[in-house]
Amino acid sequence: MAKDIMIGVGIGLFFYLWVSGYNVLPIGLLVLLVVVFWRFMPRPMVGGSEKGIQISGSTVDFEDIGGQNAAKKELQEALDFLLYSERMRELGIRPLKGILLSGPPGTGKTLLAKAAARYTDSVYLAVSGSEFVEMYAGVGADRVRRLFKKARELAKKEKKDRAIIFIDEMDILGAKRGSNVSHHEYDQTLNQLLVEMDGLGNSEQGPKILMIAATNRAEALDPALVRPGRFDRLVKVDLPDKEGRLAILKIHTKNKPLASCVDLEQIAQETYNFSGAHLESVTNEAAVFALRDDAREVNMFHFREAVEKVLLGEKLDRKPTDEELQRVAIHEGGHALLAEFVRPQSVSQISIRSRGNALGYVRHYPKDDLYLYTQAMIEEQIMVALAGAIAEETILGTRSTGAAGDYEQALHMVEKMLASGMSTLGVVDVAKLGADQRQQVTGEILAALEERTRQLILDRKGILERVVQVLKTEEVLNGERLRLLIEEEAA
């Protein structure tokens, strides 16, 4: 506020002098020089660190990170080069200069870097790649030089012989040169980083510096950055599997009072494709729901509600009309019945409550985490996606726009079939297929699967109508209750 007042007073005084006939040109030039000098001068220290650089002692151990056993093992092996440098030198092993952590968001890359600093008892400096990008030439390169200088100074000040520099969002700073043709500041900053990394390990005196960087897009990095001698190790930090998710849930529920009914293994199974950040949010939201209910313990239904909130968002106040509610119940019931037929025991819950952008949803969970899919599996997934619209058509005679997302999912899986040689075309280069040929094959696959889905829905029309009635009354139907209704209808 005071700064704005001073600027306003200065501008007013400038125009007053100008109107009064004073020669204001020297004053204007002086102000311009001051502004330019202030803009390019080294930034002052704020709270013990330069702006954008976080300097702190790490309190994170590798034991505090769950679900990344392979990444932790590979990272610790690389860090041993820093810890036991004398032994490595005896064997003629050159020191590592950089470690690149690559993987989806929320998988624990930053936590691994902090744990690395604790493991090696190193000075830890963290900065985002966006902090180096400026519109003025030379500013980013200067910040890179000062970052490495700061690491050395801080290590000497704290009487340590090791320092770790962590750069998050490395794809911003280290993108392939020439990709930003209108702005050479990016390239100049990257060139300076390459020069600094070349200098690591060349001096026998002074603290040893190890670069750790994190990115979600390793393929976007400049080849000169990821070659041996720069970032020597690429550590993949991927989404956790079921055992990893269970380990993460155990870590984040240590400080939470859990009811005896809570089955963390079941929650781990139902949270397929969740990252560590998602799982932390699930445990936190479950505790929030327990607080809302004034409960002394976190129950299983709190966790199930938390999983839905993390997946889809908060429940909405908007209430569909009776006709819309009927259609949504039929649509979601169709998805659930087909899923139970092609993959028994796979439905966790059906709901027609509005959440986020969804009027209703079916939550599935796989029996096992799969990484390879057969043609039959993909066709079953397509049938489940088509079942909602076909159920509407079977019961109400028409389809609705609510199936648009399902069609998009089905088309994506058909593309996967084409790319994997699972169509009548055999093994082909999908990119070279003509639009007409591609559309014809896609139409044939979808038409055949629609017919199979329609017959299955017709055979189960009675149970579908029962499921719809329960959903309209209770809004939510869990998987156990759905399977009980199916068994009763079969009997």
332 assigned to active site: yes
**Encoded tokens for 472:** 């309209």
| SS3 state at 445 | helix
How many CA atoms within 13 Å lie on the side-chain side of 425? 22
Q: From CA 291, how far away is CA 293, in angstroms rounded?
A: 5
Sign of the four-CA dihedral 390, 393, 395, 398: positive
Is-contact 453 386, C-beta < 8 A? yes
Q: From CA 473, how far away is CA 471, in angstroms rounded?
A: 5
| SS3 state at 160 | coil
Q: From CA 381, how far away is CA 246, in angstroms rounded?
A: 26
Is-contact 194 242, C-beta < 8 A? no
The b-or-e profile of 162-190 (16+ CB within 10 A means b, else e) is: bbbbbbbbbbbbbbbbeeeeeeebbbbbb
CA–CA distances in Å: residue 367 to residues 67, 265, 301, 487 = 19, 12, 21, 20
Is-contact 125 55, C-beta < 8 A? yes
Eight-state DSSP code of residue 314: S
**In what order do the strands lie in the sheet containing 476-478?**
361-364, 347-351, 476-478
DSSP letter string, 63-84 = GG--S-HHHHHHHHHHHHHHHT
Question: How many C-beta neighbours within 10 Å does residue 23 have?
Answer: 9
CA-based nearest residue to 339, from 207, 180, 236, 486: 486
Eight-state DSSP code of residue 419: H
Eight-state DSSP code of residue 54: E
Q: From CA 60, how far away is CA 51, in angstroms rounded?
A: 23
Strands of 180-288, DSSP E: 208-215, 233-236
Among residues 332, 379, 392, 393, the one annotated as catalytic is 332
Tell me the chain's radius of gyration from C-alpha atoms: 30
Is-contact 355 361, C-beta < 8 A? yes
List residues with catalytic annotation.
332
